[in-house]
Amino acid sequence: MFVSFLTLSLATSLYAQSSAALDIDVKDQDSIKSVAKTLAGGIVDSYQSGLKKDLIPGLFPDPYYWWEAGAVFGSLVDYSYLTGDNQYDDLLGEGLAHQIGEFDAFMPSNQSKSLGNDDQSTWGLTAMSAAENGFTTNKIGNLSWDVLASNVFDTQALRWNEKTCGGGLNWQIYQFNNGYTYRNAISTGNFFLLAARLAKFTGNATYTEWAEKAFNWTQEIGLVSEEYRVFDGTDETRNNCSDINQIQWSQNIGIYTEAAAHMWNLTTNDKWRNTLNGFINTTFDVFAEKNILTEVACEKNGKCNTDQKAMKGIATRSFARAIASAPFISDYLTPLLEGSAKAAAEGCSTKNKQVECSLRWTSQNDGSSGLGESFSALAVVQALLVPNAKPLATKSSNATSTGSPTESNPAASGSGQPAENEGAADTIVASRSLVVVIAVLAAALL
Ligand SMILES: *[C@@H]1O[C@H](CO)[C@@H](O)[C@H](O)[C@H]1NC(C)=O
Ligand SMILES: *[C@@H]1O[C@H](CO)[C@@H](O)[C@H](O)[C@H]1NC(C)=O
Ligand SMILES: *[C@@H]1O[C@H](CO)[C@@H](O)[C@H](O)[C@H]1NC(C)=O
Ligand SMILES: *[C@@H]1O[C@H](CO)[C@@H](O)[C@H](O)[C@H]1NC(C)=O
Ligand SMILES: *[C@@H]1O[C@H](CO)[C@@H](O)[C@H](O)[C@H]1NC(C)=O
Ligand SMILES: *[C@@H]1O[C@H](CO)[C@@H](O)[C@H](O)[C@H]1NC(C)=O
Ligand SMILES: *[C@@H]1O[C@H](CO)[C@@H](O)[C@H](O)[C@H]1NC(C)=O
Ligand SMILES: *[C@@H]1O[C@H](CO)[C@@H](O)[C@H](O)[C@H]1NC(C)=O
């Protein structure tokens, strides 16, 4: 318990419910679940107070951007799956359904001002989690989560940009947005991860090929260095992408680690084993203090912005999925998750239903509180439940149905003959629905 709260609760104990830090036993599944329940409850409570003020389902109030809501919904969907506590499922189904948008690909036009490829794919990865977790809802009609995730993939594969820099995804979808010419590691990284997870889910080799192609490009251009550092990004207007912005973020190493782990799982190829070892080296060399994750670029100087405060949550939930796909890395990453979860829980306090969590996990409370901090604490705590979770669904297991399991792929219903030997992108263009193509054209015209 932190001094400030201790003082406060002593002073006001007759009137207010006391606050308490969260104790966790990282070896005890019940203890982990109980802490996760408190954290999820706090996040849902703040979401619901936002909703009461006429907010649209699936959003959190300012200053939280659209993407962050997508990331938080993903971890709440995971919460239901990992703990069996499904009390929020209706609420989550409603929120997710509201953000699917006009093209069934998480591109709501009223979010276009902040709609980067990385934002869209964050929601796409949440749909992927819903598919893998067998999350059911009656809110999405005849759509299914895997189709929504593959629609995101298809729209992004069509945006793969070889006009300059040899490939990659631009940060922004719309050219009118600032930052369009930037090629950031997270846009291509999320696409790499989505492709790898779709490959695992469907068994379709087209996705495996795209995942490898995306990763190859990040190495060729230097976003992933020889030492397996993942740098922030590069700009297509500056020397053909050869000037690299070398800031490193935990979410980037997390996303790339997870994707590499799925690729190793799919191929058991030494290329991916080596890549994975390299990313783990970087994780410890750059981001860990003892066995606790830090956001090195901004945590200590107090300069993390709202987005950056959520990054350790993205990283740690990816590390947990990486371990499940590539068990040989468990000896390295499990201690990091346990150390981080314990420290993160101890940095949280509760007051009534509200939860406040420290951004820093390496020291006691740094006085911060917010959605990113609570989300990160939830993500790292429930990451410890992943090894005991029931197996993830795949397309053939039918576990992702939303009431009409046979209607598994409506988006492909308009397919013609796939083009021959034109590469993965052309195959996808030929086989996917008009809706997806229209979504991309609309983006190009706006
Ligand atoms: C924005 O678009 C989404 C998806 O079409 C919709 O659910 C939502 O009500 C719209 N309005 C706002 C303010 O988000
Ligand atoms: C730009 O970089 C890509 C990828 O490395 C390379 O294939 C292409 O030839 C380069 N173009 C120019 C004009 O240097
Ligand atoms: C990726 O690069 C490797 C070697 O550098 C190459 O063998 C492989 O064909 C490439 N894969 C794709 C999909 O481009
Ligand atoms: C990871 O670090 C170990 C120990 O320093 C080193 O032996 C190994 O070569 C590194 N692996 C990669 C892929 O960089
Ligand atoms: C691949 O991942 C699954 C979990 O998704 C796991 O059960 C399986 O053991 C992994 N395969 C290998 C070779 O480790
Ligand atoms: C999946 O659904 C199809 C079509 O409804 C059915 O034929 C098949 O038996 C189901 N598979 C499993 C594993 O339930
Ligand atoms: C799914 O539902 C929508 C609207 O409810 C309808 O327009 C569409 O034709 C349906 N698609 C399929 C494949 O049933
Ligand atoms: C694999 O996925 C691609 C891209 O979505 C699609 O064009 C192709 O038809 C799929 N192949 C099979 C065998 O389902």
pLDDT of 174-201, one tens digit each?
999 999 999 999 999 999 999 999 999 9
Q: Is the pLDDT of residue 424 over 80?
A: no
% of the chain exceeding 90 in pLDDT: 80
Residue nearest to ligand 6 atom 3, measured at CA:
406
Cα separations in angstroms, 56 against 44, 59, 110, 414: 14, 6, 12, 32
Residue nearest to ligand 1 atom 14, measured at CA:
56
Cα separations in angstroms, 87 against 46, 80, 106, 306, 333: 16, 8, 25, 28, 31
**Ligand 5 touching residue 36 (CB < 6 A):** no
Confidence of residue 443 (pLDDT cuts 50, 70, 90): low
**Ligand 4 touching residue 278 (CB < 6 A):** yes
pLDDT at residue 78 in the model: 98
pLDDT at residue 393 in the model: 96
CA-wise closest residue to 162 among 236, 233, 232, 225: 236
Confidence of residue 277 (pLDDT cuts 50, 70, 90): very high
What's the CA-to-centroid distance between 401 and ligand 6, angstroms? 11
What is the C-alpha separation between 374 and 352, in angstroms, rounded? 15
Indicate which ligand has the atom closest to the C-alpha of 163: 2
Q: Which atom of ligand 4 is nearest to the CA of 280?
A: 1
Q: Look at 92-101, 207-216, 416-425 and tell me which has the smallest mean pLDDT.
A: 416-425
Mean pLDDT confidence for 413-420: 27
pTM of the predicted model as reported, rounded to 2 decimal places: 0.88
- Do 360 and 308 meet the contact criterion of CB atoms below 8 Å apart? no
What's the CA-to-centroid distance between 121 and ligand 6, angstroms? 29
Rounded to 10 degrees, the C-alpha dihedral 10/12/16/19 comes to -30
Q: Is the pLDDT of residue 407 over 70?
A: no
DSSP 391: P
Tell me the pLDDT of the chain averaged across its residues: 87
Tokens 């709609």 — which residue? 115
Mean pLDDT confidence for 393-412: 51
Classify the C-alpha dihedral 169-425-126-133 as positive or negative: negative
Q: Is the pLDDT of residue 399 over 60?
A: no
What is the C-alpha separation between 328 and 325, in angstroms, rounded? 9
Residue nearest to ligand 6 atom 1, measured at CA:
398
Q: Which atom of ligand 4 is nearest to the CA of 281?
A: 1
Mean pLDDT confidence for 107-116: 93
pLDDT at residue 439 in the model: 55
What's the CA-to-centroid distance between 193 and ligand 3, angstroms? 17
Say whether 238 sits in a helix, a strand or coil. Answer: coil
Q: Is the pLDDT of residue 96 over 60?
A: yes
Q: Is the pLDDT of residue 264 over 90?
A: yes
pLDDT at residue 420 in the model: 28
Q: How far is CA 423 from the centre of its chain?
A: 28
Indicate which ligand has the atom closest to the C-alpha of 140: 7
Residue nearest to ligand 6 atom 4, measured at CA:
406
Which architecture does CATH list for 12-445? Alpha/alpha barrel (1.50)
Tokens 């053939």 — which residue? 396
Indicate which ligand has the atom closest to the C-alpha of 387: 5
What's the CA-to-centroid distance between 108 and ligand 1, angstroms? 7
Q: Is the pLDDT of residue 403 over 50?
A: no
**Ligand 1 touching residue 95 (CB < 6 A):** no
Q: Is the pLDDT of residue 410 over 70?
A: no
CA-wise closest residue to 139 among 405, 410, 408, 402: 402
What's the CA-to-centroid distance between 245 and ligand 2, angstroms? 18
Best substitution site from 110, 111, 119 to test ligand 1's pocket, by max atoms within 8 Å of Cβ? Answer: 110
Q: Which atom of ligand 2 is nearest to the CA of 240?
A: 1
Q: Is the pLDDT of residue 223 over 60?
A: yes
Q: Is the pLDDT of residue 436 over 60?
A: no
What is the C-alpha separation between 219 and 226, in angstroms, rounded? 8
What is the C-alpha separation between 166 and 83, in angstroms, rounded? 44
Q: Look at 19-28, 37-46, 187-196, 326-335 and tell me which has the smallest mean pLDDT.
A: 19-28
Confidence of residue 4 (pLDDT cuts 50, 70, 90): very low
What is the C-alpha separation between 93 and 189, in angstroms, rounded? 26
Q: Which atom of ligand 3 is nearest to the CA of 215?
A: 1
% of the chain exceeding 70 in pLDDT: 84
DSSP 18: P
pLDDT at residue 76 in the model: 98
Residue nearest to ligand 5 atom 9, measured at CA:
325
pLDDT at residue 55 in the model: 81
Report the 10 Å Cβ neighbour count for 29.
15
Residue nearest to ligand 5 atom 3, measured at CA:
325
CA-wise closest residue to 116 among 106, 129, 127, 130: 106
Q: Is the pLDDT of residue 6 over 50?
A: no
Q: Is the pLDDT of residue 440 over 60?
A: no
Mean pLDDT confidence for 199-223: 98
Q: Is the pLDDT of residue 431 over 50?
A: no
**Ligand 4 touching residue 225 (CB < 6 A):** no
